[in-house]
Amino acid sequence: MDFAMSRPIFDEICLARVFLIGVAVIGWVTWNLGIEPGDVRLVPCPFHAVTGVECPGCGMTRACTAVGQGQIEEAWHHHPLVFGLLILAVVFALASSALQLAWGKLSAWSRIAILGSGYLTVIGVWLYRILSQS
């Protein structure tokens, strides 16, 4: 058997589906236990521990928990990019092949522009969140 050509156990479709199911399960469990999303701290952030400044991903776990509980406004408060992350997960879970085909048809400059705008969005939201806390 040629292992180099075999499909990986956890491809992007599987990971996207596991993520979406995880958001729903964590939301349901925390809601049933009466745990507010703001009280959830599953993964400590080493960047925040060292610098005292939130990293670009700080608040995403709480935002995902809030979405899982149906608390949309609170999710936005914890991290506004949670909705983009969820949309990407849904797209990967449902249409990964079509997305890969479309991505392959783009020019190198188009890919750079799309990825660059994504990075700039993450950095921009991060800076806004830091500056608005001051």
DSSP string, the chain: --GGGSPPSS-HHHHHHHHHHHHHHHHHHHHHTT--GGG---S--HHHHHHSS--TTTTHHHHHHHHHTT-HHHHHHH-TTHHHHHHHHHHHHHHHHHHHHHHHHS-HHHHHHHHHHHHHHHHHHHHHHHHHH-
Domain count, the chain: 1
Residue 74: domain span: 11-133
Whether residue 2 lies inside any domain: the answer is no
Kindly state whether residue 129 falls inside one of the protein's structural domains.
Answer: yes
* pLDDT for the residue 24: 95
| Residue type for position 51 | T
pTM of the model: 0.81
Binned at pLDDT 50, 70 and 90, residue 84 comes out as: very high
pLDDT at 4 over 60: no
Asked whether residue 95 is domain-assigned, the answer is yes
Domain-located, residue 31: yes
Instruction: Name the average pLDDT for the chain.
Output: 88
Q: Is residue 4 part of a domain?
A: no
Within a domain: 6 = no
Which position has the higher pLDDT, 18 or 10? 18
